Amino acid sequence: MNSPEILPLPMWIGGKPVSSPNSIAVSDPASGETFARVPDCTRTQLDDAVAVAQRAFAEWSLVPGERRRAMVNAFIERVVADTDVLADLITREQGKPLPKARSEIGSAVFFSRGYAAVELKPEVLRDTPQQRAEVRRRPLGVVGAITAWNYPVLLAMWKIVPAVLAGNTVVLKPSPNTPVATLRLGELAQEIFPPGVVNVVSGGNDLGAWMTEHPDIRKIAFTGSGPTGKRIMASAAGNLKRLTLELGGNDAGIVLDDVDPAAIAADLFWAKFSNCGQVCAALKRMYVHRSVYRAVCDELVKVAATVKIGPGTQEGVDIGPIQNKAQYALVHAMVDEAVAAGAKVLYRSPVPPGPGLFLPITILTDVTPEMRVVKEEVFGPVLSITPYDDEEQALRWANQGEYGLGGSVWGSDIDRATRLAARLDAGGAWVNQHPAMGPDIPFGGVKGSGIGVELGRLGLEEYTSVQVLNVKRAA
């Protein structure tokens, strides 16, 4: 049997491909086979990347906004043209089905076009014969971007596009679990932007730590875990870096007593199980009014029974594997602990045989607030469902815990559901949908779910500082 071809990929620093003395193996989670090797960036190479980004910033920040916008749009179209290549790489390294990988790229393009449509014009505060005062938005400098492994291209585009559009330069580090498509994205960027504007480096946890403490990086834009986000925040204090931290969530959904269970079951199901449950803003805890509890559970099981799990390259597959072994083991342990403590398995799907990191779709009932599947973020295909009798109790349960990324309320009476959703302690509060995002709608969390927002005008402003230009015209 022939060994699979191993793809060697370079980093991109100052417009040039760069290798490194050591490399990192990248495996396909559906098979366990290594299919690529990427450079393990050294401290010196990171310093080089930051230095060239800093030099490029001196000129890039002076490029007129419309010219930067034109290059950003050209980059977006280059990504569109490369969809087939990028989608194949996403499926191989992340595991999601190929149509879902193509959808990820489509979403990245959609949101990026939204960013590119925003203009940060000066805001005039005072304009009199004696004085003119206005607020201007200025670029920060070198942005260090660190992305997660669940949506490698989407998250990279969410950071590259607003950063360079605002006049910054970028040094981007993808997750060591999914660096391949992002390195390809870096290659495409070199075709559009001047050397040093977009730099992509690959490496492990040490590289991320070096970035967060680097004195010449002026902002860190990070998507990942809460513990890592807290370490970044502490490290960034050295030079008062700006921060955008999207740190995950343990989103709750409250299902009211006036719903039609059959009508909402598919939406409820995919609110949790999209991308194999590996979504920061997935609906991870569900609180259902007791009067419709059994019907909602039955309808969710019906949907789950139609879903096919398998390698992302196979036709007809809806859900792929968990992306990495550590996450596979963690989710498996959380379910085992819950069942040992009394949780009931309402549904557990079959999974393909073999070495792939396939976890079953699992729906749990009879859970308690002390179980990790309830109080911690379950980043995998596991949903816990709890009945309630009183809306206020459901709201208290939904607002418990350290996270506050998103939450939702489901009901036929829109006004009633909206009033309850407005009381959710979350950055995103949705009614009859979960999650729901748009290029003009800011996305971010409260409490342990992070700092700052992405998307829309507010997301673009995160990559700028405020300058007040105050002109005296006459005595």
| Active site (annotated) includes residue 402 | no
Mention every residue, 6+ apart, whose C-beta is less than 8 A from residue 357: 29, 30, 32, 95, 321, 322, 323, 324, 325, 328
- Tell me the C-alpha distance between 355 and 328, whole Å: 12
Residue 464, both tokens: 């700028």
Tally the C-alpha atoms within 13 A of residue 428's C-alpha that lie toward its C-beta: 33
Eight-class DSSP state of 191: T
Catalytic residue among 280, 297, 377, 462: 280
- Tell me the C-alpha distance between 185 and 168, whole Å: 18
Mention every residue, 6+ apart, whose C-beta is less than 8 A from residue 241: 212, 217, 218, 219, 220
Strands (E), 379-452: 382-388, 403-404, 406-410, 428-431, 446-447, 450-451
Catalytic residue among 93, 246, 299, 454: 246
- Tell me the C-alpha distance between 468 and 61, whole Å: 18
Mention every residue, 6+ apart, whose C-beta is less than 8 A from residue 342: 366, 368
| Active site (annotated) includes residue 246 | yes
CA angle 425, 445, 145 (to 5 degrees): 170
Distance in angstroms between the alpha carbons of the first and the last residue of the chain: 86
Paired residues of 142 in beta bridges: 169
State CA 213 to chain mean position distance.
Answer: 23
Residue 288, both tokens: 């259902």
Residue 331, both tokens: 């989710």
Which residues carry out catalysis? Answer: 246, 280
